[in-house]
Homo-oligomer: A and B are copies of this chain.
Amino acid sequence: MTTLLERPEDMLRDLRNQLGPQAVLIGNEVPARNCNDWSASLPQTPLAVIRPVDAAGVAAAIATCRKAGLPFVPQGGLTGLCRGAAPEPGWVAISLERMTGIEEIDRASATMTVKAGTPLETIQKAADEAGFFFPLDLGSRGSCAIGGNLSTNAGGNRVIRYGMTRELVLGLEVVLPDGTVITNLNKLMKNNAGYDLKHLFIGSEGTLGIITRVVLRLFPKPRSTMAALCALKDYAAVVALLDAARSGLGPLLSAFEVMWPDYWEMITARAGVKPPVAAGHGLYVLVEAQGTDESIDAPRFQAWLEGLMERGLLADAAVAQSLAQTQKFWAVRDICAEFGQVLGPHISYDIGLAVARMDEFVTRCKAALADGIKGCESVYYGHIGDGNLHLVSWVTGLPIERQPKDAMDAIIYGLVREMSGSVSAEHGIGTLKKQWLGHARSEAEIALMRTLKAALDPDHLLNPGKVI
């Protein structure tokens, strides 16, 4: 019996006897991978890592942590950028890394039931092999776990067509901070029997419960992909193009990625990417559509673009003639993943803004950064159709630890507040953006978040101090 033991380490060893030697790693046994996320903050070593294989094991882990009075943090692929899954010294990490695998594909319901530690790429491939498409896609697809995608409500490139992760989830199993297992592996699009509890856990960054299994929606596999790189004279033309894409391509529209000229010039000058259209324009847009029949969809896409050229909406445009060319177009947009090599040390931002005000933000933010911080440069790009803007800022020559992040934060998030935007469009809050949450949410909203947290986790042992 563990009730007579007193030291947390002894309680953890007792749990190891219960769950097996691979399930509990203590002190020096803690692997480096469990000490940090991808945010490039300093690693922090937890007291222990618990690696259960099912919800009952998570409940047992929680019971031990509660008995020992130890804070605990859920971990998936640890690819987060805001320290939502990062541990603190003295905490226990409950990692779902051994809880992987696809439990079922239900063809009639078009659903897949998976364990929460399963990497996104594994899910994408299993859907593909079963003749379906799972649309969520991020740069970290090979490393991130679906449970982490849920806990951060991950976005990515295809939100304009398929929605955020939240929209791709039908059911889940979650372990509450008190160890209660809630199993609702719902497969129904329509289910209004009582409160829809899953939305409480999706996007709350592991502060309200630990997701252990997920039922995902599957979609028909696209059978054609069309892409164009368009150059436009100004942002009004970009908004008109977005309107034309929505109405002309309808539900086939699958991406609408906008790049401001500084971004375009930097990638062509510094990164050596050969651009599909010439420089010198006001803005650049990558438009993608996915359909069901290449022979019909491709000519139609081409005709739609030609119509826009005739209307004078586009200054220039290149249409991909093959999948290889589509991938080349995407390379222009995806190069931002390699900014480290291109730019050197820099700070990345992920913000939300009303579509209509994006360009105003870019102009004002660029000027404010240049005026307020000596030598500060910045470039802008984003998933405009979803209201999501990314920006990267830096002072050339300074190492990362001397980049004026605090001053940049103050300027950028100050403008976000002024323009009623969001300080996090898709990366979450974690601890790194916590001080700026009040720039995007009212006091009443944050108070309600605290009420929910206190109702579910009155002892504040689950991932304390994250988000709110």
Chain A interface residues (CB < 8 Å from chain B): 106-110, 131, 152-153, 155, 159-161, 163-164, 166-167, 176, 180-184, 186-197, 199-200, 202-204, 208, 219-223, 239, 242-243, 246-252, 291-293, 296, 300, 352-356, 383, 385-388, 421-429, 433, 437, 440-442, 444-449, 451-452, 454-456, 467-468
Whole-angstrom CA separation of A385 from B423 in the bound complex: 37
Contact among B190, B223, B291 for A425, CB-based, below 8 A: B190
For A447, list chain B residues within 8 Å (CB). 180
CB distance from A424 to the nearest CB of B (A): 5
The answer on a CB contact under 8 Å between B182 and A442 is yes
Whole-angstrom CA separation of A69 from B453 in the bound complex: 28
Whole-angstrom CA separation of A166 from B169 in the bound complex: 13
The answer on a CB contact under 8 Å between A108 and B355 is yes
CB distance from A355 to the nearest CB of B (A): 4
Contact among B106, B153, B219 for A196, CB-based, below 8 A: B153
The answer on a CB contact under 8 Å between A440 and B193 is yes
Q: What are 16 A-B pairs at a CB distance below 8 A?
A: A108-B242, A109-B355, A109-B387, A110-B246, A155-B190, A155-B192, A166-B196, A182-B444, A188-B352, A189-B388, A191-B424, A192-B426, A200-B452, A221-B247, A222-B250, A250-B291
For A446, list chain B residues within 8 Å (CB). 194
Contact among B155, B388, B448 for A176, CB-based, below 8 A: B448
Whole-angstrom CA separation of A353 from B426 in the bound complex: 33
- Nearest B residue to A196 via CB reads B203
The answer on a CB contact under 8 Å between B190 and A387 is yes
- Nearest B residue to A446 via CB reads B194
The answer on a CB contact under 8 Å between B192 and A152 is yes
The answer on a CB contact under 8 Å between B109 and A354 is yes
The answer on a CB contact under 8 Å between B437 and A193 is yes
Whole-angstrom CA separation of A247 from B127 in the bound complex: 13
Q: A188-B388, A442-B182, A444-B181 are in contact. Are A429 and B194 (CB under 8 A)?
A: yes
Whole-angstrom CA separation of A191 from B424 in the bound complex: 6
Whole-angstrom CA separation of A187 from B159 in the bound complex: 14
The answer on a CB contact under 8 Å between A167 and B167 is yes
For A252, list chain B residues within 8 Å (CB). 250-251, 292
For A429, list chain B residues within 8 Å (CB). 192-194
The answer on a CB contact under 8 Å between B203 and A109 is no
Q: A193-B422, A424-B192 are in contact. Are A243 and B107 (CB under 8 A)?
A: yes
Contact among B220, B352, B433 for A191, CB-based, below 8 A: B352
Whole-angstrom CA separation of A222 from B252 in the bound complex: 12
The answer on a CB contact under 8 Å between A182 and B387 is no
For A222, list chain B residues within 8 Å (CB). 250
Whole-angstrom CA separation of A355 from B189 in the bound complex: 10
**Which of A131, A153, A242, A352 lies at the interface centre, i.e. has the most chain B CB atoms within 10 A of its CB?**
A352
The answer on a CB contact under 8 Å between A425 and B108 is no
For A454, list chain B residues within 8 Å (CB). 455
| Further pairs besides A108-B243, A109-B387, A188-B354: 11, Cβ < 8 Å | A107-B239, A155-B192, A182-B445, A188-B387, A188-B421, A191-B424, A193-B423, A194-B429, A195-B468, A199-B200, A250-B292
For A449, list chain B residues within 8 Å (CB). 194-195, 197
Whole-angstrom CA separation of A155 from B167 in the bound complex: 15
Whole-angstrom CA separation of A153 from B421 in the bound complex: 27
CB distance from A48 to the nearest CB of B (A): 27
Q: A192-B203, A296-B300 are in contact. Are A108 and B182 (CB under 8 A)?
A: no
For A220, list chain B residues within 8 Å (CB). 246-247, 250-251
- Nearest B residue to A292 via CB reads B250
- Nearest B residue to A293 via CB reads B300
- Nearest B residue to A433 via CB reads B193
For A448, list chain B residues within 8 Å (CB). 176, 180, 182, 197, 456
The answer on a CB contact under 8 Å between B108 and A356 is yes
- Nearest B residue to A187 via CB reads B354
The answer on a CB contact under 8 Å between B300 and A180 is no
Whole-angstrom CA separation of A425 from B444 in the bound complex: 32
Whole-angstrom CA separation of A221 from B246 in the bound complex: 9
CB distance from A38 to the nearest CB of B (A): 16
CB distance from A232 to the nearest CB of B (A): 14
